[in-house]
Structures are given as C-alpha cells and as structure tokens.
Amino acid sequence: MRIKTILTQNRRDFTATMECEHCGEEEHLPCGYDDHFYHSQVIPNILCGRCGKKAPDSYRALQTKYKEGEVV
C-alpha cells in the first residue's frame, strides 16, 4: 500500500487514503504517524484488504513534514 492522499494532519498524526500498487484498491488509514520509521517500515508492510499483497521492493517512502527530532 502507498499513501495516495493525506486527508488530515495534526502535528505528526495523520489520516490518509491508501492505494494498493497491485490491484488499485483504496482504503482509509484512520491513524498514521509522520516519522521516518512509519513511512519506511510500517506503510510498505500494510497488506491490501483485497489482494493481500504489500508494497513492492521498489517502494519509495514519502518525506516527513517535519525534520527528525523537531518538536512540533
């Protein structure tokens, strides 16, 4: 899964619409955290509800809105 659209963001917490790279299924992510670990490790391992696949090895994580260690 990958982030298609970030719907809301408050500090580092966000909600988003996710899209499967394999089948195109869209799902709502009710809560996410905007840091490097979440974008590079958690999001690519979210399984699609329709096809059950995760992001391909070529997945590129988004940049965070705030720098690492920055207090928001």
- Asked if residue 54 belongs to a domain, the reply is no
Is 66 inside a domain boundary?
no
Q: What is the pTM of this model?
A: 0.88
Look at the chain and report how many structural domains it folds into: 1
| Interatomic CA distance for residues 64 and 47, integer angstroms | 22
In a domain, 37, yes or no: yes
Asked whether residue 64 is assigned to any structural domain, the reply reads no
In a domain, 32, yes or no: yes
CA-closest candidate to residue 39, choices 22, 55, 21: 55
Dig out the tokens for 46 from the structure.
Answer: 């979210």
Provide the pLDDT for residue 13.
97
Where in the sequence is the domain holding 10, given as residue range(s)?
Answer: 2-45
Residue 33 counted as domain residue: yes
Tens place of pLDDT for every residue, the chain, 72 residues?
999 999 999 999 999 999 999 999 999 999 999 999 999 999 999 999 999 999 999 999 999 999 888 888
